[in-house]
A and B are shown apart, each in its own frame.
Chain A
Amino acid sequence: MKHALNLYRRLLGVQIRSQMQYRASFALELVGTGLIALFEYASLALVFERFDNLGGWTLGQVAFLYDMAEFSFGIMDMIFAGFDPSLFGQNVRRGTFDQLLLRPVNISVQVLGSEFTLRRIGKIIVGAGIFASALALNPVAWTPPKALLATLMAVSQVAFFGGLFIIGATITFWTVESIEVVNIFTYGGNYMISHPMHIFPAGLRQFFTYIIPAIFLAYYPALYILELPDPFRLPAFAPWLAPLAGLSVLMAALAFWRFGIRYYQSTGT
């Protein structure tokens, strides 16, 4: 375990150093991803100007949910970049993945250490800035439990999105042709948790409550922090289920991942 952590640190160092070799392109991408993020927020705000509210939620409230998801996704995208399905699928086809299997280190640690997209920092910084301004739009009093829950929310969402990436990466052991399907899966998950869940049909919402517990990752913590009433009358501890939901998705994903590796070892590329 200690060996794995130590190694992870070194592999990250390698990633960062090799990205710095292409300094100019690094800077460009940094600015680029930041600008794209800014543009996305701006278009959201524009859409909002026309409708004024979304399912009864104000711009500030929706922005809180949306920005939190964007911010967490950005962080996840940086940390879990090695599991990015399209990149990972390529590595499997090219045989790079075989090289990882030939080394005496935990395979997930190696995949995590195989890529670290530092340039996402641009997006993360913009996301954090916009998240801060979204907070300013919400006239709620901050308390220590709320701050704690907001932090848990971000961490749990990172785990959740990471789980989606791992599931997507695992699917590429079976097929690369359906990489689009895999993407719908990851980006669909992002869409679900960045919108107030009461706007979705009951069936879909129940799926994301009882099957994939995404509702506890964003919607319920948001209700608590923004002091909104719960239309579905779940118990009062529902917002605090966020870490459990994030962790369980990540654990399920890792179990699927191990199953996928066994499958890969029986079929090769």
Chain B
Amino acid sequence: MIRVENLSKHFKVFKHHRGAMGTLRNLFTRQYNLVQAVNGLSFEIQPGELVGYIGPNGAGKSTTIKMLTGLLVPTSGELSVMGLLPWRDRQKYVARVGAVFGQRTTLWWDLPVIESLNLLQHIYKIPAASFKQNLDEFRTTLELDPFLDTPVRALSLGQRMRADICAALLHDPEILFLDEPTIGLDVVAKERIRQFIQQVNRERGTTVILTTHDLSDVEKLCQRVMIIDRGKLLFEGQLDALKAQFGGKRELLVDFAEDYPSPQIEGAEIAGREGGRVSYRFARGEIAASELIGRISAKYRIRDLEVREPQIEETIRRIYEERLLEN
């Protein structure tokens, strides 16, 4: 459905000289820095996938989304979505996709939400029947009714995001692009948006690509993740594979019934202790949790214990920080 090969986007950022003479120099010298926002990206996305696209600030996520939605022309490389070239076939293409940029709205600032939505019906030439059916459905699932008659400028961030997502889906797009759809939202609002995205993906078969800085978005929603940094793909694949490949060690927390000065155990290292509570770290694949617990309880008296899986946050942070995949 989406095929990207060796895609790059380089920006020339011109140096600016200030003042009157500076303006003249700007005209003639044109010195610039080259920013390689996206650098040789290749991936494919199949119909019906729900893909999370993550990476630190300035990694090139938005730039990629802008190329995929036809807002930007790539510097080099190939890009084909549903057989179309987004920037060249703009009108034909955007009629078949939806996009939400979390930082801004598509809706008309001074109009009540419902009027904006009605206008979109005409913009996308949506048949009356399917418009009504979609709108009725989204009104319930996104709980739009309380603010349908409120001008967009008066909406809260969460309400506006729901209205925007509704607006992007009314014309039954085959692909939905979401650039930071949960930015600035509270936990409840985030959860609501996540559930909705999942539902749209499952029930309508809409392909979804979303960027986010909130890894729980990815964890709860996406089967597949792509991690980008400095314009290059660091990882691409199933979330579980990511954890298995890079996931740090698992953790076993033990509350001992007695005070042992150094409760060493073969197969795990002590990562820390707090009073009677000791935390062990051990690698998946080297020793099973049950085996480890058996070894400990054979030697010591245990009151309580808990196994912790490596957190995705932790994993991703390590990838960003250590650039594990470099070279």
Contacts and interface: CB of A to CB of B under 8 A. Distances in A.
A177 B94 contact: no
Interface residues of A, number: 27
Interface stretch (B108-116, B135-143, B215-223, B300-308): B108-116
Nearest to A103: B123
Interface in A220-269: 262, 265-268
Nearest to B96: A104
A96 interface: yes
B327 interface: no
A96 B104 contact: yes
A44 to B, nearest CB: 33
Contacts of A99: 104-106
Given A101-B90, A104-B92, A104-B95, A95 B104 contact: yes
A99 B123 CA distance: 13
Contacts of B72: 265-266, 268
Output the residue of B12, B71, B106 with the most chain A CB within 10 A.
B71
B124 interface: yes
B242 to A, nearest CB: 30
A101 B108 contact: no
A1 B271 CA distance: 70
Interface string A1-37: 0010011001100100110010000000000000000
A82 B112 CA distance: 21
A7 B123 contact: yes
A6 B122 contact: yes
Contacts, number: 71
Contacts of B11: 267-268
Interface string A68-106: 000000000000000000000000001110110111111
A103 B91 CA distance: 7
Nearest to B16: A177
Contacts of B69: 102
Nearest to A3: B125
A222 B99 CA distance: 52
B106 A102 contact: yes
B48 interface: no
Given A3-B125, A99-B104, A266 B73 contact: yes
Given A268-B11, A268-B66, A10 B104 contact: no
Contacts of A262: 73
Contact of A10 (B99, B105, B119, B125): B119
Most chain-B CB neighbours within 10 Å: which of A3, A21, A98? A98
Contact of A265 (B87, B103, B106, B124): B87
A95 B66 CA distance: 12
A111 to B, nearest CB: 14
Interface in B36-68: 63, 66
Contact of B94 (A21, A96, A102, A178): A102
Given A14-B115, A101-B90, A103-B94, A268 B71 contact: yes
B130 interface: no
B71 A102 contact: yes
Interface in B67-84: 69-73, 75
Nearest to A110: B123
Contacts of A7: 122-123
A21 B123 CA distance: 23
Nearest to B109: A18
B23 interface: yes
19 contacts: A10-B122, A14-B108, A14-B115, A17-B111, A18-B108, A95-B103, A95-B104, A98-B66, A98-B101, A98-B104, A99-B104, A99-B106, A102-B71, A102-B99, A102-B106, A103-B123, A265-B71, A265-B87, A268-B71
Interface of B: 11-12, 23, 63, 66, 69-73, 75, 87, 90-92, 94-95, 99, 101, 103-106, 108-111, 115, 119, 122-125, 151
Closest 5 pairs between A and B when the two form their complex, measured CB to CB: A18-B110, A104-B95, A104-B91, A265-B73, A266-B73
